[in-house]
């Protein structure tokens, strides 16, 4: 009776996706370009985004880059 019992899959958006969802398409493109541009350190990018009202940590940026295979 319970042999096919499995836990539900939790589908939670990442912080990056939450931010992208709130941005205009041109700003989405600019953010994605910056995230993939390794000339920006995670700390520098987080500081600049916070100055523009986007709350994000450098750890979130680093996690996104690692998860997506973005390296120098």
- Domain range summary for the chain, segments of one domain joined by +: 30-72
In the prediction, which pLDDT does 35 show? 97
In sequence order, what are the residues at sequence separation of 6 or more whose Cβ sits closer than 8 angstroms to the Cβ of residue 1? none
Instruction: Determine contact, residues 43/8, Cβ cutoff 8 Å.
Output: no
pLDDT, averaged in runs of 10, over the chain (72 residues)? 85 93 98 97 98 97 95 80
Q: Is the pTM of this model over 0.75?
A: yes
In the prediction, which pLDDT does 21 show? 97
In the prediction, which pLDDT does 50 show? 98
In the prediction, which pLDDT does 43 show? 98
């Amino acid at each position: 009776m319970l042999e096919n019992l499995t836990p539900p899959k939790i589908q939670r958006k990442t912080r990056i996706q939450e931010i992208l969802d709130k941005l205009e398409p041109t700003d989405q493109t600019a953010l994605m370009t910056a995230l993939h541009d390794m000339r920006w350190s995670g700390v520098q990018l987080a500081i600049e985004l916070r100055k523009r009202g986007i709350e994000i940590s450098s750890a979130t940026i680093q996690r996104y880059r690692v998860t997506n295979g973005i390296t120098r």
